[in-house]
Amino acid sequence: MATCKRRLSCPQTVQHLWDAVENVRQQKQIANLDRIANYMRRKHGLSAGDTERQLSHGVRDGVLATRRRVGIKGSKVGVEQEAYMLPEEAVKRDGHDWYCFECHRGGDVLLCTTCHRVYHVVCVKEDLSNEDKFVCSMCQLMKSKDQFQLKTEDLNLLLSYTCLRLKNKVCSTGHQSSHHLHQTQTRDLNRLAHVDGDGWKQNQLIYEKMDLATMEEKT
């Protein structure tokens, strides 16, 4: 059963690299390898070699962009450098996820033939030796009617209750500052909104987004 490489970059490290690029740019400097490596070492303990490798993976995967820039300050005045930038193009969607559904990492993955999910061979719990086409465990579960004994109305009620409990737990953590979240007087999850402008990051890393508001809309 053939595998393919979707993405190689680590999604968590990609977010740290985005922060590094933004941090350097806020200082009116070119986000070159040295400055990004310094940030990653200082903030996340990542070596210069690992940072360079993840930057290369990020450019390959399209979650980072590069451009040649000429330095205008410091020791790099007049020197052309490779500058790393946030992605400029919309992410390409071709029907399958970029990261393993089980471990959320990149690398060689199997593509499910009936949904968008992908898996590393080592992350698949089923025996694949006699299979011609890969159908993931989630699709197998949804096709097995015997697994679902609840009526749709009862399932929606349980899901709605779960969403409410999770929402209350989020609100009780004390992290819903005006910078990150704002909550209106209603208990509707649709009123709990992110205001930090980072929606594009989710689109770059999450192929099929599912959050509490979406779950509640489906109940």
Distance CA 62, CA 60 (A): 6
Per-residue DSSP letter, 184: -
Per the CB < 8 A criterion, the answer to whether 42 and 93 are in contact is no
CATH of the domain at 30: 1.10.10.10
pLDDT in tens, 27-49: 999 999 999 999 999 999 999 99
pLDDT exceeds 90 at position 197: no
Nearest to 163 by CA among 185, 192, 196: 192
Whether 97 and 118 have beta carbons less than 8 Å apart is answered as yes
Domain-located, residue 91? no
Q: Which two tokens stand for residue 24?
A: 């350097």
Q: Is it the case that residue 196 has pLDDT exceeding 60? A: no
CB 88 within 8 A of CB 108: no
One-letter identity of residue 26:
Q
Q: Are residues 17 and 79 in the same domain?
A: yes
Helices 11-26 and 33-44, packing angle to 10 deg: 120
Tell me: do 31 and 62 sit in the same domain: yes
8 A C-beta contact, residue 136 and residue 116: no
Q: What is the CATH number of the domain that holds 121?
A: 3.30.40.10
Among 121, 145, 169, identify where a domain stops. Answer: 145
Distance of CA 152 to the CA centre of its chain: 30
Q: Quick one: 139 and 207 in the same domain?
A: no
User: Which residue in 123, 140, 85 sits closest to 3, CA to CA?
Assistant: 123
Q: Is the pTM of the predicted complex or chain greater than 0.85?
A: no
- Does 90 fall in a domain? no
For residue 77, what pLDDT is reported?
64
Q: Which domain holds residue 139?
A: 96-145
If one counts the domains in the chain, the total is 3
In terms of average pLDDT, the best of 43-47, 181-185, 210-214 is 43-47
Position 131 pLDDT exceeds 80: no
Q: What whole-number distance in Å separates Cα of residue 149 and Cα of residue 141?
A: 13
